[in-house]
Amino acid sequence: MRDNGYKNAAYALAELMDNSIQAGAKTVELLCGEKKQQVGSRMRSRIHQIAVLDNGSGMDATVLRLALQFGNGTHLQEEKHTGIGRFGMGLPSSSVSQCQRVEVWTWQYGVENAFYSYLDLNEIKTQHINEVPEPQPKPIPSIWQQVGKNFDHSGTLVVWSDIDRCMWKTGKTIIDNSELLIGRMYRKFLDAGEVAIRMLAFDLENPNTVIEEKSAKPNDPGYLMANTSCPAPFGKQSMFQPWEEAGQYEAVFTIDFRDRQHEVKVRFSYAKEEARQASGNKNPGDLPHGKHAAKNIGVSVVRAGRELDLDQSLVIKYDPTERWWGIEVEFPPSLDDLFGVTNNKQSARNFAELINIDIESMLQGGKSIVQFKEELKEDEDPREPLLEIAIKINTQLSTLRKLIKAQRKGTRTKNNRCPGSSPEKQATRVTENRKQDGYKGTSDKDEYLPALERQTTIEKTLTEAGVTENQAKELAATTISDNLKYVFVDADLDNPAFFSVKPKGGAIVITFNTKHPAYENLVEILEDEVDNVDTETLRSRLTNSLKGLKLLLAAWARYEDEQPKGKRRQDTQDARVDWGRIARQFLEREE
């Protein structure tokens, strides 16, 4: 039972907090007591006891004894599967995963009437006890009454001692490492003001010495909440925006399970444009709010308002832009068996397996999704009711990623990572030289129009290409103020061309076709953010880009080879030579 699979002490402590919230607690306190002890040649402060205190409804002697038994409790019947609790494993299982002794005081009619019982692994091993001790009246130790703030008319105090499996050695590190997770797990309760969570690290020998004290703030991986733990400027306002479909910001699925209907809600969000803006020489991912988002990547699986897991099976691990989307799946406890909720409430196994499913491989032999669902239903496959949700998540995630990439359109002129002038400036300089040599372009005549008219035309063209309004305004203004001739953007083009060329407002707007394979192999792979990307991944990206370039040239070679002999083939060859001559001028480095 000690190896029951809790990822760390924070997940184990969350089990105790689940019990507190289930009992209607308005305040939960995590109290970490440290003592000095010899570590090598020095005396160091180390965690000695950990307690969770709440002001919930408390337990009578009978329920207290049940709570300390493995696999027992008051929420095991199916009709009681409505809240956080259920399995009857939380208190004993989470406790022994971290310590060898757990003690419980609980009261319903004042602190002075507390009942007490415990589990001690050493006493179990030596057969000093072979059942949960009968609860007895026992005063709460003064140390906990001194540091705890919520000894109300009713409540419960759980204390861990002989802590031997907690990887964090001080109360401060326990709080620092638990704060983000606890804030994320209970964000809905914290945001609604239904519960407050206080975290305190103190010196057991001098309780007035506070080492660390914090109040948990909501940590929303979908970043749609305000007043969260996200750093400024997005601590008090939402950092993401909901993705809406038909005016709805959530997709609701009705599932028939065990002769009853149940609702599953899926919410999608993605970063606001201002969250993706660089500051100085730092990319948004390097800013405090970007680093915060990097700790919250994945699909948040929420049961009864409490997060079970932040599933990362759909995350592209090497892509730093994955931090800018959020997906939340919320389901009721009545669907625990369907979702495959583990007894330590750390994951939903059936759901985790399904959302990473390869839909194409499952639809072999020309099957439709409807046919495949019918087959699963006939086979009584438990995954069938979840398939539609998995398809929706996979489909919508592709849309979110496109929206996020669209936010970076038009930012190439601000890219100062490479030495020398930007491609736009260098191309403009070469074009001016060619104009002086007598070469004229269609766009040149509009260079003499009023600047505001040109800027408006360019801005409209960029917006029509899919660039956001703010970026279109900024990019058009930069083009005019810097007297640039070329603008690069990305968009889905409804033709097989790799790029399009539009002379607008005296400038030439070059649009890369994001649907073309050359975009993925040449433009996107080189333009993506490289912060926190390992050397091997960078090497792979450069290799793929060279391969993409060679294939692009091979495609031109084949196109030229397929032209009929005569004028058309000669024109094609001449075009290649002329383009190469101009390309040489554009690519020559400035001295």
446-478 pLDDT tens trace: 999 999 999 999 999 988 877 778 888 888 999
Q: Residue 381: its pLDDT value, please? A: 72
Q: Residue 453: its pLDDT value, please? A: 94
Supply the pTM of this predicted model: 0.71
Measured on CA atoms in the order 375, 381, 384, 387, is the torsion positive or negative?
A: negative
Q: Residue 359: its pLDDT value, please? A: 62
Q: Residue 296: its pLDDT value, please? A: 97
Between CA 117 and CA 220 the distance in angstroms is 37
Rounded alpha-carbon distances, angstroms, from residue 224 to 228, 232, 274, 504, 580: 10, 15, 14, 38, 51
Instruction: Identify the residue whose tokens are 């009929």.
Output: 564
| Cβ atoms < 10 Å from Cβ of 369 | 13
Q: Read off the tokens for 15.
A: 């089990």
Q: Residue 81: its pLDDT value, please? A: 45
Domains and CATH numbers, the chain: 9-215 (3.30.565.10), 240-403 (no CATH), 408-515 (no CATH), 517-591 (no CATH)
Between CA 407 and CA 273 the distance in angstroms is 6
The low-confidence residues of the chain, meaning pLDDT below 70, are 72-89, 246, 357-367, 369, 382-383, 408-421, 521, 524-534, 548, 553, 588-591
